[in-house]
């Protein structure tokens, strides 16, 4: 028997097989009222759920709007960062066959070449400096999954001058722990190298003059 009907029968003191007309009328009245109350409760619950749903929708829209604004701010900061860095940095990715899969546009700002030019002829642009021979060994270590300190290379700029670059590489692993690619960050250190070379030249000249002066005094 339905629990609601059981409850109402108990209220009218119903006994099995014995039910007066008055009890029947009272039962009908109680059952009707119970359903009216239940319907009111249902409406209240629906209203509460509707209000809650609208509040959740409002909260979701507010969060979505905030997330979009924060993303826009973040993207603008990133764009400014890239804009500020492009004269001194470029980024690349190559696979385990040493084939470039990504090269940033800032390569043009640093070396003068388009991305297409550099991707096709990058080996030809390397100078004969001995530091470039070490670069191959560093690349092999990166592909082997070994983290290493930054290293230097020298490259011919498109205008014929030489650029000195500092390279930092990071091996990227797949889910099985195997190297799938290598990411690199390249920094233009030409001015620092020039300054260091000039300082060394000045120091050598000063030392040379000092030795010559001492020699002439002794004579």
The per-residue pLDDT for 1 is 43
Q: Which two tokens stand for residue 110?
A: 């640093």
Q: Which two tokens stand for residue 149?
A: 């300190």
**pLDDT below 50 — which residues of the chain?**
1-2
The per-residue pLDDT for 92 is 92
Each residue of 76-102: pLDDT tens digit? 665 565 555 666 888 999 999 999 999
The per-residue pLDDT for 2 is 47
The per-residue pLDDT for 30 is 64
**Cβ contact 180:172 at 8 Å:** yes
Sheet holding 162-173, edge to edge: 100-103, 89-95, 179-188, 162-173, 151-156
Cβ-defined contacts of 46-50 (< 8 Å, 24+): none
Report the C-alpha gap between 93 and 100 in whole angstroms: 6
β 179-188/100-103 pair status: unpaired
The per-residue pLDDT for 134 is 86
The per-residue pLDDT for 194 is 81
């Amino acid at each position: 028997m339905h629990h609601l009907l059981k409850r109402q029968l108990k209220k009218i003191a119903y006994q099995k097989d014995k039910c007066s007309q008055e009890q029947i009328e009272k039962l009908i009245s109680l059952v009707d009222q119970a359903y009216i109350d239940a319907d009111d409760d249902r409406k209240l619950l629906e209203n509460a759920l509707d209000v809650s749903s609208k509040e959740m929708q409002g909260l979701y829209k507010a969060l979505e709007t905030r997330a979009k604004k924060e993303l826009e701010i973040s993207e603008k900061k990133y764009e400014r960062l890239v804009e500020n860095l492009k004269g001194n940095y470029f980024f690349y990715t190559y696979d385990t066959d040493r084939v470039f899969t990504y090269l940033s546009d800032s390569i043009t700002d640093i070396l003068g070449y388009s991305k297409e030019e550099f991707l096709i002829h990058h080996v030809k642009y390397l100078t004969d400096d001995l530091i470039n021979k070490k670069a191959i060994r560093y690349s092999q270590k990166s592909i082997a999954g070994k983290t290493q300190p930054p290293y230097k290379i020298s490259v011919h700029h498109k205008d014929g001058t030489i650029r000195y670059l500092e390279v930092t590489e990071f091996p990227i692993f797949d889910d099985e722990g195997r190297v799938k690619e290598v990411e690199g960050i390249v920094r233009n250190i030409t001015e620092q190298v020039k300054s260091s070379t000039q300082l060394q030249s000045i120091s050598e000249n000063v030392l040379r003059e000092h030795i010559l002066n001492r020699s002439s005094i002794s004579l």
